[in-house]
A and B are shown apart, each in its own frame.
Chain A
Amino acid sequence: MTGTVTPELASASGPETAIEMKAVNKWYGAFHVLRDVDLRVRRGERIVICGPSGSGKSTLIRCVNALESHQSGTIVVDGILLSRNHARIDEIRRDVGMVFQQFNLFPHLTILENCTLAPIWVRKMPRAEAVAIAMRYLERVKIPEQANKYPGQLSGGQQQRVAIARALCMSPRIMLFDEPTSSLDPEMVKEVLDVMVGLAEDGMTMVVVTHEMGFARQVADRVIFMDEGQIIEQNAPGPFFDHPQHERTKLFLSHILR
C-alpha cells in the first residue's frame, strides 16, 4: 500500500532539497485521500504529476503550501517544517507560488493591481518598485498592454498568464501548478504552456499537475503517476511514457494517449 520509496528519497533534506514529504497521510472525513506519500523535489527540478481524477494529485500539491492540512507525516518546504504555526505557513506561502485551474485572479482589481497586491502588502515593497517588477513579469508573459484592464476583460489564456505573472512577482523559489490548462479553450493552451516552458528553462523548481503529456515530455525531469492517493510509478519522461511498468499506469496512459 505504500508509495514507491527509492533510497534517494529517504535521505535527509539538504540545501539542494526544495520539498521533502515523508509518509504524508490525509483524510477527508473517513476518505483516505493521501496514503503514505513520500516525495523529494530537488532544487531546480521539474516534476509533472498525473493521474485520474480523485487520485489525490491536487490535494498533494495543495498540502505543500498548506491550502490543505495533512494529518500525519512531515512536509519540509524550503527548509521549513510545515506545522500548524501560522507564521511558518505564511513564510512558506511567500516563497511558494501557486497557479490554479480557475486562475483565481481578483476581479475587483486591475491586472497590475493583482500583481502588485502581495508584494506591497506581504513583502512591504514600495509601490513604485512593485509596479516595475509587475510590469517586467507582465512583459515576460507577453501582456503588458493589458495592465490596466480588469481580469473579466481578458481571455482565459491571458488570465492564466496573469496568474503566473502574479505568482512570479513574489519571487517564489518554488512554483506549484494545479491543472493550469484544464479550464482553457483549446486555442489558448499553448500560450500558457509556452510561458511555463520558459519558466522551466530558467531553472525554476516546478511541480505541475497536468494532463498535458507533450509538456511533460518536453520539460519534466520526472513524471509521477498517482492513483487512489498513492504514488504508483515515477520515472524520467522517456521511460515513463515509452515503457510504463505498472498495469495501472499502462491503462491510464492508454486512455489519455491516442
Chain B
Amino acid sequence: MALGDHAFVRRAPVAPRPPPRGVVGPLAWLRNNLFSSPANTATTILIALFLAWTVPPLIRWLFIDAAWTGDDRSVCLDGGACWAFIGAKINLILYGQYPPDERWRIVLVAALFVAGLVPLAIPRVPGKRWNVVYLLVVFPVIAFMLLTGIGIGLDKVPTDRWGGLFVTLVAAVMGIVISLPLGILLALGRRSKLPVVRWLSTAFIEFWRGVPLVAVLFMASVMLPIFLPPGVTFDKLLRAMLCIAIFYSAYMAEVVRGGLQAVPKGQYEGSMALGLSWFQQMRLVVMPQALTVVIPGIVNTFIALFKDTSLIMVIGLFDLLGMLKSATNDSDWASPSVPATAYVFAGIIYWVFCFGLSRYSVFIERRLSRGKLHR
C-alpha cells in the first residue's frame, strides 16, 4: 500500500513561541473581564455609576463629616459618624462591666492566647504538639483561673460582669474548640458500623440541626433551671456557650461527614491492608484527607458560629453587639448618628475577625494542596 502524500516525518521540532499581543497584559485583562461583550460593557458601566453614587457619601459619613473627639452628644449632631462615642465607651465595648482594676487579667489572657495561637498558625514553626497541648490544656486552665479569679487568690469576678468583645471572643473560641472535635466524633459515629452508635449520632445531629439557636438559648436560660434540683446553679454564660458549641457541633458533623464521603474506598483498603487499626486509619489516613477537602466548609461554620455568638444577647448577656446596643441608651450620647455608628462599628469588628479567618483558610488550603495538583 502506497502512503503517497500522507506519509510524513517531522524533521525539525516546533519551538514554543510567545502569544500574540492582546492575549496577556492589563489591556487584555480589561477587555476579557470588563468589556468582553455589549452586555458586560453595560454591566460594567452600571456598576461604576452605582459605586460613584454610593461610595462618596459613605466616605463623607464615615470620615469627613465624622466627629472624632468629644465628651458628649453635642459633637455628634452634624450627621456624620460619631466616633467620639466609640472612644468614650471603648472600655465598655471591650471588657463589659469587668472591674476596671482587674482588666489587666483579660489583657494578659488575650496575650497568652495570641502567644499560643500565632506559632500554631504559622506552619514553619516547630513543636506543634506542645503548642496544641498548651492551647488546649494549659491555657484554658490559666485563663479560667485568671478570668474568674477562682483558685489563685485574685478577686472573684462573676460572669454577669463579663461583657463586650471579651465575651464574644470567649464564646467563639470555646465554640470553635469544642465543636470541631465533637463534630468529628459525631461524623464518625454517624458512619459507624455499630447501629447503636450510628443511631445515637444521627439523632443527636438531627435534633440540634432541627431547632433554632435562639430557641435553644431560651430553653437553656429559662427551662434548664426548672429541671435542675433547687440550689444547683449553672452559670448562665457557660450554659449559653455550651449551647452554641453543641449546636454548631451538629453542623460541623455534617461538614466533616461530607469530607469523609470524599475519601475513596481505596484509601481505607490501602491502610487496612497495611495492618493499621481503625483508629490509626482514621487518624493517619482518612481524617487528614477528609478535613483538607472540607476546610472551606469548616471555616464557613466557624464564621457562622462567630457571628451567632451575638445571639446570646437575647438571654440578657452582653457580648460585643449587646454592649454596643446598651451603650447607645446613654442619654449623654443621645444623637441620631450614635446607634448607626455603634452598629457600623460592630459590623467592622465582626468583619475583621471573619475576614481574617477566611483569609487564613485560603492560605492553609493552598498550602495543603501543594504537591497534589496533578491528582
Contact A104 B276 (CB under 8 A): no
Give the docked Cα–Cα distance between A15 and B157 (Å).
73
Give chain A's interface residue range (CB within 8 Å of chain B).
20 to 34
Q: Does A153 contact B (CB under 8 A)?
A: yes
List 27 A–B pairs whose Cβ atoms lie within 8 Å, in order of A's numbering: A67-B272, A93-B272, A96-B273, A100-B269, A100-B270, A100-B273, A102-B264, A104-B267, A106-B267, A106-B271, A106-B285, A106-B289, A107-B375, A117-B284, A118-B275, A121-B276, A121-B280, A121-B284, A122-B280, A149-B371, A150-B370, A150-B371, A152-B371, A152-B372, A152-B374, A153-B371, A170-B275
Residues of A within 8 Å of B280, CB to CB, are 121-122
B278 to chain A, nearest CB (A): 8
Contact status A67-B273, CB under 8 Å: yes
Q: Bound complex: CA of A104 vs CA of B289, how far in Å?
A: 13
Q: Is A90 an interface residue (CB 8 A)?
A: yes
CA distance A67 to B373 in the complex (A): 30
In this assembly, does B277 line the interface, its C-beta being within 8 Å of a C-beta of chain A?
yes
Residue of B270, B288, B292 near A104 (CB, 8 A) is: B270
Q: Closest chain A residue to B292 by CB distance?
A: A108
| Measured CA separation A22–B14 after assembly (Å) | 63
- Nearest neighbor of B373 in chain A, beta-carbon distance: A152
Q: Which residues of A contact B292 (CB under 8 A)?
A: 108
User: Is B272 a contact of A105 with CB atoms below 8 Å?
Assistant: no
Q: Which A residues fall within an 8 A CB radius of B?
A: 65, 67, 90, 93-94, 96-98, 100, 102-108, 110, 117-118, 121-122, 149-150, 152-153, 166-167, 170
Cα A205 to Cα B205 in complex, Å, equals 49
Known pairs A97-B273, A150-B371. 19 more at Cβ < 8 A? A65-B273, A67-B269, A67-B272, A90-B277, A93-B274, A94-B275, A98-B273, A100-B270, A104-B266, A104-B269, A104-B273, A106-B285, A106-B289, A110-B371, A117-B285, A121-B280, A122-B276, A167-B273, A170-B275
- CB of B270 within 8 A of CB of A106, answer yes
* Interfacial residues of chain B within 246-269, with CB under 8 A of chain A in the complex: 264, 266-267, 269
Cα–Cα distance between A201 and B276 once the two chains are bound (Å): 29
Q: How far is the CA of A103 from the CA of B269 in the complex (A)?
A: 10
- Inside 8 A of A106's CB, which chain B residues have their CB? 267, 270-271, 285, 289
User: B residues within 8 A CB of A93?
Assistant: 272-275
Checking B266, B274, B373 against A118 with a beta-carbon cut-off of 8 angstroms, the contacting residue is B274
Task: Please give the distance in Å from A77's CB to the nearest CB on chain B.
Answer: 13
Q: Using a CB-CB cutoff of 8 Å, which residues 100-125 of chain B contact chain A? A: none
Are B266 and A152 in touch, CB under 8 angstroms? no
- Nearest neighbor of A90 in chain B, beta-carbon distance: B275
The answer to whether B274 touches A122, judged by C-beta atoms less than 8 angstroms apart, is yes
**Known A121-B280, A152-B375, A153-B374; contact A105-B270, beta-carbon cutoff 8 A:** yes
Task: For residue B264, give the distance in angstroms from its CB to the closest CB of chain A.
Answer: 8
Does more than half of chain B's interface fall in helix, strand or loop, or is it mixed? helix
Q: Which residues of A contact B368 (CB under 8 A)?
A: 108
Q: How many residues of chain B have a CB within 8 Å of chain A? A: 25
Q: For the complex, what is the distance from the CA of A103 to the CA of B275, rounded to whole Å?
A: 16
Q: Which of chain A's residues has its CB closest to B287's CB?
A: A108
When chains A and B are docked, how far (Å) is the Cα of A103 from the Cα of B264? 12
CA distance A73 to B272 in the complex (A): 23
Q: Which 8 A-B pairs have the closest CB atoms?
A: A104-B270, A150-B371, A118-B274, A93-B275, A152-B375, A98-B273, A104-B266, A94-B275
- In the complex, per-residue mask of B15-58: 1 if CB is within 8 Å of any chain A CB, else 0: 00000000000000000000000000000000000000000000
Query: Once bound together, how far apart are the Cα atoms of A149 and B288, in whole Å?
Result: 18
A21 CB → nearest B CB, Å: 18
Closest A residue to B278 using CB positions: A86
Instruction: Name the distance in Å between A31's Cβ and chain B's nearest Cβ.
Output: 19
Closest B residue to A117 by CB, please name it. Answer: B284
Residue with the highest number of chain A CB atoms closer than 10 Å, among B269, B280, B292, B374: B269
Q: Which residues of A are found within 8 Å of B375, using beta-carbon distances?
A: 107, 152
- A175 CB, min distance to chain B CBs, angstroms: 11
B375–chain A nearest beta-carbon distance, Å = 4
A110 surroundings in chain B (CB, below 8 A)? 371
Residues of the A chain whose Cβ atoms lie less than 8 Å from the Cβ of B276: 117-118, 121-122
Beta-carbon nearest neighbor of B271 in chain A: A106
How many angstroms between the C-alpha atoms of A170 and B373 in the bound complex?
29
List of B residues within 8 angstroms of A122 by Cβ: 274-276, 280
Chain B residue numbers with a CB within 8 Å of A108 are 288-289, 292, 368, 372
The answer to whether A166 touches B289, judged by C-beta atoms less than 8 angstroms apart, is no
Nearest chain-A residue to B285 (Cβ)? A106
What CA separation (Å) do A122 and B274 show in the bound complex?
8
Instruction: Give the distance in Å from the alpha carbon of A125 to the alpha carbon of B99 in the complex.
Output: 56
Q: In the complex, what residues of A have CB within 8 A of residue B269's CB? A: 67, 100, 104
